[in-house]
Amino acid sequence: MNRELNYFPFIVVLSLGYFVGLFFPDADQSFQLLLGHRSIITHSILLPYLLYLYFNKKNNLTPLKTILIVGIYLGIGLHLSADLHPKAFRGYALIKLPFNIDIGGLSPMWIGANAGVAFYLASKYLNELINKKLFWISYLIIGLLVGITYADEEPHNNDAILGTFLFLFLATFIYSKIRNRNSITQKEVKNKKQVKKQPPKKRKRSFWLYAVGIPSILIIIIIILGNL
């Protein structure tokens, strides 16, 4: 669905959400005794998912709030794509349940799945909201610039982080674009079929047809019968 959205607020809110999502996962470092580093709560799509659910339930999901959520998803996706390539998958690199209990070898699967879903939902909500190339191109440029810079500043496995980010970011965008286009096409075809299936409208009978026509016919019949 296309909604009115000005370009400048779009850039500002998208960038704000991007940086919130990028740094939010490490908020667990302030609660390490309770959550542990790389908490399963902060290193997931939980924050933007709950925001979307809340605003949608309150019927208050404005275009700018949607773009903020898109940015948060994008930032979390970038952060998690970097977390897929630690120096080694042990200790701090593992995903932690509450009270600092790690999930061991399931950590890469959790991180990768949440990274992919985060990128996909970011592009899905963007494509559903906006149908203008300027906004799509700006989304891609901002995403790539921040992603490339972030990957370059990581202490280990920079090339692997960049490669993972580029693949997930671009692949999910293209996939969501195709799905959105197919969905629109299917709706248009369905609407056309519904229009064709509608029964022809019955012609409304005129009041005067009954008030004048029927009595006239009866009179003519009486005259004919009287002359027989």
Residue bearing the bigger pLDDT, 54 or 207: 54
Task: Give pLDDT, residue 32.
Answer: 83
pLDDT at 210 over 60: no
pLDDT at 214 over 70: no
Q: How confident is the model at residue 88 (pLDDT cuts 50, 70, 90)?
A: confident
Per-residue pLDDT of 1-52, as tens digits, reads 445 789 999 999 999 999 999 999 999 998 888 888 899 999 999 999 999 9
User: Angle between the 133-153 and 63-83 helix axes, to the nearest 10 degrees?
Assistant: 30
CA–CA dist 81, 84 (Å, integer)? 5
Per-residue pLDDT of 156-183, as tens digits, reads 899 999 999 999 999 999 999 999 888 8
Residue bearing the bigger pLDDT, 78 or 228: 78
Q: How confident is the model at residue 188 (pLDDT cuts 50, 70, 90)?
A: low
CA–CA dist 179, 126 (Å, integer)? 13
Domain borders along the chain are 7-189
Strand partners, 39: 96
Neighbour-count burial for 146-163, b at 16+ CB within 10 Å, e otherwise: bbeebbeeeeebbeebbe
DSSP 3-state assignment of 119? helix
Task: Give pLDDT, residue 199.
Answer: 60
DSSP 3-state assignment of 42? coil
Tokens matching residue 220: 């003519």
**Per-residue three-class SS string for 140-183:** HHHHHHHHHHHHHHCCCCHHHHHHHHHHHHHHHHHHHHHHHHHH
Q: How confident is the model at residue 85 (pLDDT cuts 50, 70, 90)?
A: very high
Give the helix ranges, DSSP H, for the chain. 7-23, 46-57, 63-83, 107-129, 133-153, 158-197, 207-208, 214-226
pLDDT at 111 over 80: yes
pLDDT at 66 over 90: yes
Say what the pTM is.
0.80
Task: Give pLDDT, residue 131.
Answer: 87
